[in-house]
């Protein structure tokens, strides 16, 4: 698998399936998308540290809906309700929004005040939800059609 095909698949998902929660996706398609999101997040974190800007929070918010859509479709492939992904997305979104809002007017002090008040609880909820969702996302999909549609083909990134 080369980096160009992973990038093309990532771009296709962002452009055509930004918040698509209908249907199913294969494990490989899902994990290639997660890989591309992780690389983009790491790059934003590095540039954000250099420029002292909250770029990681901006990228996290921009990718929130595509991640929710892909996560929900992956859960539906294993026969689970795609709405379970909101247990991860809602606390993560609140944390990212507060990170952006508190960074500007209050700087580091507002950011730390948020994390020492309720931010730690939201992050704990997100971590527990993430562990449960990773377990479901790693499971093989159901064979044949299920309540969420026909099985996805064995999709290789950028092959279609």
In angstroms, the CA 94 to CA 117 distance is: 13
- Is residue 34 situated within a structural domain? yes
Q: Is the pLDDT of residue 157 over 70?
A: no
Confidence (pLDDT) at 125: 94
| CB neighbour list of residue 7: distance below 8 Å, 6 or more residues apart | 36
pLDDT band of residue 133 (cuts 50, 70, 90) is very high
Q: Does residue 87 fall inside a structural domain?
A: yes
**Is 99 inside a domain boundary?**
yes
Q: Is residue 152 part of a domain?
A: no
Q: What is the pLDDT of residue 96?
A: 79
- Is the residue at 157 inside a domain? no
Q: What is the mean pLDDT of residues 107-111?
A: 67
Would residue 16 count as lying in a domain? yes
Residue of 64, 31, 117 lying closest to 56 (CA atoms) = 64
The pLDDT of 88-112, averaged and rounded, is 76
Let me know if residue 154 belongs to a domain: no
Range 111-117 average pLDDT: 74
Structural domain including 125 reads: 3-138
Question: In this predicted structure, what is the pLDDT of residue 39?
Answer: 95
- Inside any domain, residue 144: no
pLDDT higher than 70, residue 156: no
Closest to 59 (Cα-Cα) out of 36, 41, 86: 41
Lowest mean pLDDT among 12-16, 124-128, 133-137: 12-16
Mean pLDDT of 58-63: 89
Q: What is the DSSP string of the chain?
A: --HHHHHHHHHHHHHH-TT--SS---HHHHHHHHHHHHHHHHHHHHHHHHHTS-HHHHHHHHTHHHHHHHHHHHHHHTTS-GGGGHHHHHHHHHHHHHHHHHHHHHHHHHHHHHIIIIIHHHHHHHHHHHHHHHHHHHSPPPSS-BTTBSPPP-PPTT--
140 or 110: which leads in pLDDT: 140
How many domains does the chain contain in total?
1
Mean pLDDT of the chain: 87
């Amino acid at each position: 698998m080369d980096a160009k095909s992973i990038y093309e698949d990532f771009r296709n998902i962002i452009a055509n399936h930004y918040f698509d929660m209908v249907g199913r996706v294969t494990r490989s398609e899902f994990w290639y998308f997660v890989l591309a999101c992780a690389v983009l997040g790491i790059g934003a974190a590095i540039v954000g540290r250099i420029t002292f800007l909250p770029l990681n929070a901006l990228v996290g918010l921009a990718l929130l809906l595509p991640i929710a859509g892909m996560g929900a479709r992956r859960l539906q492939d294993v026969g689970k309700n795609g709405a379970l992904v909101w247990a991860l997305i809602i606390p993560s979104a609140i944390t990212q929004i507060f990170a952006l809002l508190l960074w500007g007017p209050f700087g580091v002090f507002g950011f730390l005040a948020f994390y020492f008040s309720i931010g730690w609880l939201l992050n704990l909820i997100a971590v527990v939800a993430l562990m449960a969702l990773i377990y479901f996302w790693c499971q093989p999909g159901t064979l044949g059609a299920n309540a969420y549609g026909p099985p996805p083909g064995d999709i290789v990134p950028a092959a279609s």
